[in-house]
């Protein structure tokens, strides 16, 4: 169905399971198809307060999820990329508490929630997979949340870069050299910092010799050192310039 000539607009259930790294445990008909949706950079996959009916799987591209508080200020809660299932936080209230904005042109698979529930009853492997994904998300949030309160700006930034590096590696990209797809303000918001602090933290790590940064292009010189500084208890900060 998908011709090499253009973007894919339908995926089978099997393909979806592969994207999500779920082992369905049954043979699935290739007749079960899910539609794709293309989203331009700057556009939203779903908006806050919008009625929930579908989850989305990122097939390609890079997005941010944000929560907009009463005051109109928005906070970045994540940077979904290929293989991520987004919209899970909307199941509870049947309404999206957050918004997913494409940072690059994106291709997402539309997974209607009622349909997903049907597959869950039919295929226990899919249900287990869904639970595992939600659990992982929960554990990740939990681990991150507390760090933000405890760690210094420099350490937070190091952790963020190390995480990004790992995710790129998983997707088969270079874990050493990549492009940040988000602005300093977006990074900062995600880490609970101002854009100035985010910039300074990045520069500080650069001065320590662990990376080179030029605008949004980053080269990590020592990924291991980056990961090491994360687990330093009270983080000897790098506020002196490298001699």
Neighbouring CB atoms inside 10 A of 85's CB total 22
Least CB distance from residue 58 to DNA, whole Å?
22
Q: CA–CA separation, 99 vs 44, rounded Å?
A: 7
Binding site for DNA (CB under 7 A): 152-154, 183-185, 188, 192-197, 199-200, 202-203, 213-216, 234, 237, 239
Q: CA–CA separation, 156 vs 160, rounded Å?
A: 6
* Site membership for a copy of itself, residue 117 (CB under 8 A): yes
| 136 touches, from a copy of itself, DNA, none (C-beta below 5 to 8 Å by class) | a copy of itself
Q: Which x/- pattern over 124-143 shows residues binding a copy of itself (rule: CB under 8 A)?
A: x--xx-xxxxxxxxxx-xxx
Q: CA–CA separation, 181 vs 70, rounded Å?
A: 27
Contacts 24+ apart (CB under 8 A), 129-137: 129/17, 129/20, 129/22, 129/23, 129/24, 130/22, 132/22, 133/20, 133/22, 133/85, 133/88, 134/88, 137/88
Residues between 53 and 72 with contacts to a copy of itself, criterion CB under 8 A:
67, 69-71
Neighbouring CB atoms inside 10 A of 241's CB total 9
Taking alpha carbons only, the member of 113, 111, 114 closest to residue 35 is 111
Q: CA–CA separation, 38 vs 59, rounded Å?
A: 10
Is 57 or 182 the residue whose CB approaches DNA more closely?
182
Q: Which x/- pattern over 166-195 shows residues binding a copy of itself (rule: CB under 8 A)?
A: -----------------------x-xxx--
Query: Could you give the 3-state DSSP secondary structure of residue 89?
Result: helix
Q: CA–CA separation, 33 vs 13, rounded Å?
A: 6
Cβ partners under 8 Å of residue 62, min gap 6 = 79, 80, 81, 102, 103, 104, 106, 181
Least CB distance from residue 158 to a copy of itself, whole Å?
15
Least CB distance from residue 9 to a copy of itself, whole Å?
28
* Site membership for a copy of itself, residue 25 (CB under 8 A): no
Is 130 or 180 the residue whose CB approaches a copy of itself more closely?
130
| 9 touches, from DNA, a copy of itself, none (C-beta below 5 to 8 Å by class) | none
| 25 touches, from a copy of itself, DNA, none (C-beta below 5 to 8 Å by class) | none
* Site membership for a copy of itself, residue 92 (CB under 8 A): yes
| 43 touches, from DNA, a copy of itself, none (C-beta below 5 to 8 Å by class) | none
- Point out which residues bind a copy of itself (CB under 8 A): 67, 69-71, 73, 75, 77, 88-93, 97-98, 117, 120-121, 124, 127-128, 130-139, 141-146, 148-150, 189, 191-193, 231, 233
């Amino acid at each position: 169905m998908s011709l090499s000539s253009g973007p894919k607009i339908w995926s089978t259930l099997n393909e979806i399971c592969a994207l999500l790294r779920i082992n369905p445990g049954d043979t699935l008909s290739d007749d079960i198809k899910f539609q794709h949706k293309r989203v331009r950079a700057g556009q939203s996959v779903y908006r806050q307060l919008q009625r929930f009916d579908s989850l989305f799987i990122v097939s390609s591209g890079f997005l941010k999820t944000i929560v907009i508080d009463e005051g109109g200020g928005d906070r970045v809660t994540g940077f979904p990329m290929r293989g991520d299932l987004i919209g899970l936080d909307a199941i509870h209230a049947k309404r999206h508490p957050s918004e997913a904005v494409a940072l690059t042109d994106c291709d997402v698979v539309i997974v209607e929630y009622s349909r997903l529930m049907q597959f869950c009853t039919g295929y226990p492997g899919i249900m287990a997979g869904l639970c595992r994904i939600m659990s992982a998300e929960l554990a990740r949030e939990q681990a991150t949340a507390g760090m933000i309160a405890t760690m210094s700006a420099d350490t937070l930034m190091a952790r963020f870069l190390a995480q990004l590096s790992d995710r790129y590696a998983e997707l088969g990209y270079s874990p050493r050299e990549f492009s940040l797809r988000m602005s300093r303000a977006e990074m900062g918001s995600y880490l609970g910092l101002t854009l100035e602090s985010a910039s300074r933290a990045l520069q500080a790590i650069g001065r320590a010799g662990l990376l080179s940064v030029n605008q949004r292009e980053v080269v990590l010189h020592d990924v291991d050192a980056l990961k090491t500084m994360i687990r330093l208890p009270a983080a000897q900060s790098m506020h002196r310039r490298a001699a």
